[in-house]
Amino acid sequence: MTFGPNATFKDILEPAIKIALERDHDMARAWFREYVRLLSTRMSRAEAEETALSNLGYFAGYYDQEVIDAVHEVFGAVHPLLGHQDRFGRTPPPPTMEEAFAAGVRWGEKMINNPEEAEDGR
């Protein structure tokens, strides 16, 4: 699995959704290695691994609960601001729109005032 030089986030992250839904752990490892390799051209390996999981967790948040759970199970990725979202009450419920917006505002303020503190997303 390789990503072309003009690959978009969708081009990169959408295959991971399919891999997660298929519960294909071997392909998940291959996808993750390749994405980390791509990101490592611009940052350290540790930062690339964290960014890959953060991006995937964020992207999965646009899908339904089945996808969110599959991505969390297969990759260990969660939404960088909201954590693992569970729309069925098994864990804290997902935030309301107002709560999600407020979380984004808080994160943005941290990025402006203290970027190191904002790195973990919460």
**Tens digits of per-residue pLDDT, 69-94?**
999 999 999 888 777 766 555 556 66
Asked if 96 and 103 touch (Cβ cutoff 8 Å), the reply is no
What is the model's pLDDT at position 15? 97
pLDDT at 93: 62
Of residues 114 and 109, more confidence is placed in 109
Give the pLDDT of residue 83: 72
Token pair, residue 115, equals: 């970027």
Per-residue pLDDT for 122 more than 80? no
pTM for this one? 0.71
Instruction: Determine the number of helices (DSSP H) and then strands (DSSP E) in the chain.
Output: 6, 0
Tens-digit pLDDT profile for residues 15-71: 999 999 999 999 999 999 999 999 999 999 999 999 999 999 999 988 888 999 999
> Which position has the token pair 């599959």?
70
pLDDT-based confidence at residue 2 (cuts at 50, 70, 90):
confident
Of 92, 64, 78, nearest to 120 (Cα)? 78
Query: What pLDDT does 87 receive?
Result: 57
Q: Give the integer Cα–Cα distance in Å for 60 and 111.
A: 23
Q: Is 23 helix (H, G, I), strand (E, B) or coil?
A: coil
